[in-house]
Structure 1
Amino acid sequence: MPIIHTKGEQLFPELAAFMGGWFHQDFDIHGDTLEAVVQACVEESDPSILRPLIEDIDRFLATGDEGMEERFQEYFRPDIIPTGFRPTTREFLLSIRSELASGASRAR
């Protein structure tokens, strides 16, 4: 039986893995804020994955603001609602990107 991949896994594999691995239904085991969850990811992950993840975020953001909320849901099928953390999905992803970039610079 072939493995079925989501559009997000095909186009943005690092971001898809991050969303599934860190912002799942039990995300709060890592903290109850976006910053705490991303910090846990930075602390527990190999630093070499941070740059490709940031690049995936940048590429997804470059797809444009129109329809982003729906596209994010379609591509990643997240267990969380990004607007529960920030007013828009763009702001959610920009906040994650900022935290990751900060963690990547500390990891060097």
Structure 2
Amino acid sequence: MLSDRYPNMYQFFGGYLNQDFDLSGDTIPAIVSCYRSECPRENHLEMIHEINSFISEHPDDLDSAFEKDYGQDFDPALWGHTTASFLEELKRLLRE
């Protein structure tokens, strides 16, 4: 279950990058900034670790795995990203 395996990613995609994303911001940096202001730094670092684990677990099927797990409400292509570039950008923003 995603909420058990990747709890911080689950919270971020379910709570911030869902159909009501505009409540948190209208750009990825603004949405991540909202998340960062509402969640402890420890969660940011844990999500970076979860993203790295997710990428490592799906070296050959990252796009399809991401689509399956998070694609119901979020599509990186609509934001000008590939799955890989979005996850890298998310990690960069979380480190700030």
Aligned residues of 2:9 and 2:50 also touching (Cα < 8 A) = yes
Distance 1:28 1:83 in 2: 17
Deviations 1:71-96 (A, max 9, x none): 01212344121111233111111111
Structure 1 residue aligned with 2:9: 15
Tell me the CA shift for residue 70 of structure 1: 1.2
Structure 2 residue aligned with 1:68: 62
With the length of structure 2 as denominator, give the TM-score of the two structures. Answer: 0.86
Aligned residues of 1:57 and 1:93 also touching (Cα < 8 A) = yes
With the length of structure 1 as denominator, give the TM-score of the two structures. Answer: 0.78
Distance 1:78 1:54 in 2: 22
Aligned residues of 1:82 and 1:89 also touching (Cα < 8 A) = yes
1:80 and 2:74 correspond = yes
Cα pair distance change 1:44/1:29, threshold 3 Å: same
Please give the secondary structure, in 1, of the residue aligned with 2:11.
helix
Identity of aligned residues (%): 26
1:34 and 2:28 correspond = yes
Distance 2:7 2:44 in 1: 13
**RMSD after superposition:** 1.6
Larger radius of gyration, structure 1 or 2?
1
Distance 2:89 2:19 in 1: 20
> 5+ residue gaps in structure 2?
none
> How many residue pairs end up in the alignment?
96
1:100 and 2:81 correspond = no
